[in-house]
Structure 1
Amino acid sequence: MELCLLFQKKTWYQFIIERVKRLVIPLVFGVLVIVPPQVYYEEYIEQSSFFKVLPEIVLQNKVNHLWFIEQLFVLSLLFIPIILLMNSNKRFLVYNFMSNWSQRFEIFSWVVILIILRVFSKFYFPSNSNSLTNLSTLLFYAFFFFSGIVIAKNQNIWLLLQKNRRKNLFLAFISTVVFYVYYFIPTDVISPFLSLQHRWNLWYIVCCLVSWGVIISILGYSSVYLNNKSKVLSKLNEAVYPFYILHQTVIIIFGYYIINNDLTLIIKLILLLISSFFTIGVIYIFFIKPFKLIRFLFGMKNR
């Protein structure tokens, strides 16, 4: 959604420069600095010291949880023609079509497109890898990317999201129940009736229903209750990106030491939640937020 607003103020060239600053710089910084500690704790901690194996880890060029930034940058470039279209007068053709469809069949029905994309792409690219070469994953997120572009400036769809937020939440809840029922059904119960491919297709369908249902529910409720200017919301929004970049590394480091303690699972989870959240918060407040260079490396805007 942010992209449509950016294109109103920038040329496509300026847009690409902005995407490089906000996405590529944090990605490169993350691969060189943020990801190596988690790779060390996952694979090397019992073999050698961190700094001794650091060059080897860096050369692996692993993105780990930062795959999302990598895909977001690629999608941003691929969708430039669509964003330009949505900022032109021709956007009303798309807006009217999607608005009429949503009024007639509900916004939840968009999930049909997602299901078709998911099932057919998974047939040719069954891997769960988040690599850019795995088109089943790229197309899955491309659907949400495109949906955000369509929804961003379409007031009719926003009104429908608000109006049907309770219905969408109910559908998301039902989809989630079906998701967990299907997840916990023993394989030998359904295998006599469905082939492996059909079972996977059902899984993809259920996952699509949950994903889309949850997202449109959040959008509907957020547009009602979080649509006012708020200093707190503004500060939290600014902190989201650094928290995302840091979270997996911090969780893995704390998790490594917490998991080996003789404590109950629930205590371990609570300790991990508190320690990781507190640590990320301290890093953000004292070592990222105040400094211009560090903010730049984490993809944050100037203060």
Structure 2
Amino acid sequence: MNISPPGSEKKARIYYFDTLRAFLILLVLIIHSANMLVPSYNMGVGGNSPYLQYCIDFLPQWIIALFFLFAGAGTRFALRRRTAGQFIGERCRRLLIPLIGGFLLIAPLQAYFEALGQPGQPTNFLAFSASFLTHIPFSWNPQWMGAYLHHLWFLADLFLISLLLLPLCRFFQSDSGSKLLDKLTSFCEGHKGLAAFWLFLVPLALVQLGLRPAFPGYQNWADVFTWLLCYIYGYVLFATPRFAPSLPGLAKER
């Protein structure tokens, strides 16, 4: 399989891409702050706004999907100038090490405060932390990461998904993968909205219809496979400027 060597492609930075990611991070901050004002949050200060609850339940579904879309696009940009080994090393530095650090330093503290006020509440933080760190509830249900790692679940999911899909992303860099992307691009150019329907919306709908009944709930397998697709979509959309004709006008040289 012939793959273009790192650094062989022209490098350009899409500045609005960074702006959108910053905006999503700001939304995440607002949503997590608003959690304190709804009754469903066990560390809240009280509140009973159904409209705020609807927003908190609805918006994260789209925000997280967009984060994975941007992560896929970021992988496309990263692999232009990195080998697979360099990419894995970078993922470890940026995702795995912060995940481990957060697991050791932040997750026990958050779990401790959530346990306060509950039946059988802990009395000693050090004893609680030792028990928390040594009793990891591994499960085939991916929801365990959200329940145990709290907000760090995103780092775990992103790390695993980026490694799992790395072979596919590398394939897209090969001659065969480039030809496939060219065919997809030509199909999109010729069919416009119909292409978006079949290539992007239908797979997402099939994942939800096929997995959601068996795996309900946030961060379950239906969500994980949706994020897998979003990651792939992000890579493919930015693999060639022809997928998004406006990109060349918005890209600037580094």
For the residue of structure 1 that corresponds to 2:131, the secondary structure is: helix
Which residue pairs with 1:127 in the alignment?
A: 216
The alignment covers a number of residue pairs equal to 164
1:4 corresponds to: 76
8 Å contact from structure 1 (residues 4, 86) kept in 2: no
Matched to 2:185, the amino acid is: S
Q: Residues 214-268 of structure 1: CA distance to partner in whole angstroms, max 9, x if unpaired?
A: xxxxxx8xx977x5689xxxxxxxxxxxxxxxxxxxxxxxxxxxxxxxxxxxxxx
Unaligned runs of 5+ in 2: 1-72, 137-147
Aligned to 1:114: 204
**Residue 21 of structure 1 pairs with residue 93 of structure 2:** yes
Render the CA deviation track for 1:201-220: whole Å, top value 9, x for unaligned.
xxxxxxxxxxxxxxxxxxx8
Whichever residue aligns with residue 161 of structure 2, its letter is: L
Q: Give the corresponding residue for 2:13.
A: none
Q: Which residue of 2 aligns with 1:146?
A: 232
Partners of 2:225 and 2:187 lie apart in 1 by 22
Helix, strand or coil for the counterpart of 1:32?
Answer: helix
Q: Secondary structure at the match of 2:106?
A: helix
Q: 1:54 aligns with which of 123, 129, 140?
A: 129
Give 1:129 shift: 4.9
Code of the aligned partner of 2:225 = L
The structure where helix makes up a greater share of residues is 1
How high is the sequence identity, in percent, across the aligned residues? Answer: 21
**Superposed counterparts of 1:92-103, under 5 Å:** 92-103=178-189
- Native 8 Å contact 1:4 1:87 kept in 2: no
| Counterpart contact for 2:122–2:128, Cα < 8 Å | no
What is the CA–CA distance in structure 1 between the aligned matches of 2:217 and 2:131, rounded to whole Å?
26
| Distance (Å, rounded) in 2 between the aligned partners of 1:138 and 1:70 | 12
Q: 1:77 aligns with which of 140, 156, 163?
A: 163
Give the number of the structure with larger relative contact order, counting CA–CA contacts within 8 Å between residues 6 or more apart: 2
> Which of these two proteins has the greater Rg computed from alpha carbons?
1
Deviations 1:38-69 (A, max 9, x none): 21121136642433422122234421121111
| Structure 1 length-normalised TM | 0.48
Unpaired stretches in structure 1, ≥5 consecutive residues? 163-219, 231-303
- Return the alpha-carbon distance in structure 2 between the equivalents of residues 73 and 97 of structure 1: 30
SS at match of 1:9: coil
Corresponding residue for residue 87 of structure 1: 173
CA RMSD of aligned residues (A): 2.7
Match of 1:39 in 2: 111
**How far apart are residue 28 of structure 1 and its match?**
0.9
Separation in 2 of the partners of 1:94 and 1:65? 37
Decide whether aligned partners of structure 1 residues 137 and 82 sit closer, same or farther in structure 2, where only a CA change above 3 A counts: same
Q: TM-score, normalised by structure 2?
A: 0.56
1: distance between equivalents of 2:253 and 2:179? 31
Runs of 4+ aligned structure 1 residues displaced above 6 Å come to none
